[in-house]
């Protein structure tokens, strides 16, 4: 190999070394930065999509906020945070006037603290010890399990026994109890009784019927206060 060729080969090798050095020192960092930028862009795009979806959800919730507030107000009126029996008495008088009945008596008792319902037991097995029960289909533990809510407890939920007696006809009494059921305050009627009495001072007068509706109104306090009193 002549000296000229050797010099040319060395020059080519030097050029390759310089090109490689230029790539690793100049181009490769820019390529790495570009790849990192692309990865960051993908992450930002994903974050933006998530944020946009959350904003859309919040906007939808905000649009339904007035409706939710109205529902909350109705539920609060149905089961208030205090006994508010004076308001209940006013509702009784108002409904009675519309139904055409006369309120003859209203009695209330001390509030009863809520007690969670006990889990259902296999009553058939207990009632027929040793007997062979016929197989049934469709019966599951979920079907008989009582519905409970950990947010409802004896500390914040109570029932106030109430008895309301009104004088009037059957249709009037039916209109009265229907009006109470449709009222803002929840009044759960559990018993109904009636009695007929003749006005001794006016024998010609028709017999008056007294209808007595027994049941409960409820109180749900905001905190863990004691059960409300009647």
Residue 189: exposure state from Cβ atoms within 10 A (0-12, 13-18, ≥19)? middle
Q: Where are the domains of the chain?
A: 7-78, 79-115+152-224
User: Residues 185, 164: contact at Cβ < 8 Å?
Assistant: no
User: What pTM does this model have?
Assistant: 0.61
What CATH superfamily is the domain 79-115+152-224?
Ribosomal protein S6/Translation elongation factor EF1B (3.30.70.60)
- 3-state class (DSSP) for residue 93: helix
Give the distance, in angstroms, between the CA of residue 210 and the centroid of all CA atoms in the same chain.
Answer: 39
Q: How confident is the model at residue 229 (pLDDT cuts 50, 70, 90)?
A: very low
- When comparing pLDDT for 40 and 10, which is higher? 40
18-27, 167-176, 179-188, 215-224: least confident range:
18-27
Position 128 pLDDT exceeds 60: no
Q: Are 113 and 158 in contact (CB under 8 A)?
A: yes
* pLDDT value for 67: 85
Residue 66 has a pLDDT of 87
Longest CA–CA span in the chain (Å) reads 151
10-19, 111-120, 127-136: which is most confident: 111-120
> Which among 100, 88, 87 has a CA at the least distance from the CA of 188?
88
Contact 221, 151 (CB under 8 A): no
The reported pLDDT for the residue numbered 28 is 64
Report whether pLDDT(1) > 70.
Answer: no
Look up residue 227 and give its two tokens: 């059960």
What single DSSP character describes residue 165?
Answer: E
Report the pLDDT value the prediction gives residue 58, as an integer from 0 to 100: 85
Question: Is the model's pLDDT at 44 over the cut of 70?
Answer: yes
Q: Which of 105, 211, 199, 114 is nearest to 154 (CA)?
A: 114
> HSE on the CB side for 18, CA within 13 Å?
6
pLDDT at 200 over 60: no
């Amino acid at each position: 190999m002549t000296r000229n060729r050797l010099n040319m080969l060395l020059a080519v090798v030097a050029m390759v070394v310089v090109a490689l050095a230029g790539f690793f020192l100049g181009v490769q960092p820019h390529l790495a930065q570009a790849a990192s930028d692309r990865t960051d862009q993908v992450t930002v795009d994903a974050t933006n999509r998530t944020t946009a979806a959350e904003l859309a959800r919040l906007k939808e919730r905000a649009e339904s906020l007035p409706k939710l507030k109205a529902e909350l107000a109705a539920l609060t009126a149905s089961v208030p945070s205090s006994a508010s029996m004076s308001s209940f008495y006013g509702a009784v008088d108002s409904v009675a006037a519309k139904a055409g009945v006369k309120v003859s008596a209203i009695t209330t008792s001390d509030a009863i603290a809520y007690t969670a319902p006990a889990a259902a037991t296999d009553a058939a097995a207990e009632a027929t010890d040793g007997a062979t029960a016929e197989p049934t289909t469709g019966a599951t533990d979920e079907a008989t399990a009582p519905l409970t809510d950990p947010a409802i407890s004896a500390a914040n939920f109570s029932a106030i026994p109430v008895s309301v007696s009104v004088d009037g006809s059957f249709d009037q009494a039916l209109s009265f109890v229907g009006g109470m059921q449709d009222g803002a305050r929840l009044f759960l009627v559990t018993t109904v009784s009636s009695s007929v009495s003749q006005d001794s001072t006016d024998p010609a007068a028709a017999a008056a019927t007294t209808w007595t509706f027994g049941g409960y109104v409820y109180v749900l306090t905001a905190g863990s206060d004691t059960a409300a009193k009647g």
